Amino acid sequence: MPIRHKATEAGILQPSELELLGRVFQQLKLEGQSPEAREALASRIIANYMAGVVDEAELVSLSRQPLGR
């Protein structure tokens, strides 16, 4: 799963944090999405989380948009 790989690259996270990131990823990934698009999605989710967005609903909302928007 791209989110776990990206999360591992980002640094040490607690199991509860990985669960949160995984739930957000599951909500946002699309059927038939390319591996590159899923990698980009995982990166956006983690970047938003690392920027301090820890509320699941807010993380979903912000991660729908490209970074920097």
d(CA 61, CA 46): 13
Whether residue 11 lies inside any domain: the answer is yes
Whether residue 68 lies inside any domain: the answer is no
Q: What is the pLDDT of residue 27?
A: 96
Segment 23-50 mean pLDDT: 94
CB-count exposure of residue 22 (10 Å: 0-12, 13-18, 19+) = middle
Q: What is the pLDDT of residue 1?
A: 56
Tally of domains in the chain = 1
Instruction: Provide the domain limits for residue 7.
Output: 2-63
Q: What is the pLDDT of residue 5?
A: 73
- Which own/partner pairs from 43-48 qualify as long-range (CB within 8 Å, at least 24 positions apart)? 43/6, 43/67, 45/3, 45/21, 46/3, 46/6, 46/7, 46/10, 46/21
Whether residue 23 lies inside any domain: the answer is yes
Whether residue 69 lies inside any domain: the answer is no
Residue with the bigger pLDDT between 26 and 67: it is 26
Whether residue 43 lies inside any domain: the answer is yes
